[in-house]
Structure 1
Amino acid sequence: MAAKGGLYGCQDPACWRRVRDLHWAVVEAKGSERKGLAGLEKWYQEELPAALAGRKEKHLTQGEVVKLMQWKLTRGKFRPRLQQLVATNSQETVERCTRKAFQLLPDVAAAITELSQLKAIGPATASVDKEKDWTPHQVEMCLWAWAVAQKLCPALLQTLCLGEEEAGEDARATKKQKTK
Structure 2
Amino acid sequence: MYHAETTDQLAALTERQLELIGEDPTREGLLKTPERVAKAWQFLTHGYGLDPEAILRSALFAEDYSQMVLVKDIEVYSLCEHHALPFFGKAHVAYIPNGHIVGLSKIPRVVDVFARRLQVQERLTLQIRDAIDAVLKPEGVAVVIEAQHLCMMMRGAEKQNSHTTTSAMSGVFLDQPDTRAEFMRLISG
Rg (Cα) greater in structure: 2
Q: Tell me which of the two structures has the higher relative contact order, counting C-alpha pairs closer than 8 angstroms and 6 or more residues apart.
A: 1
State the TM-score, normalizing by the size of structure 1. 0.24
Higher helix fraction: Structure 1 or Structure 2? 1
Higher strand fraction: Structure 1 or Structure 2? 2
State the TM-score, normalizing by the size of structure 2. 0.23
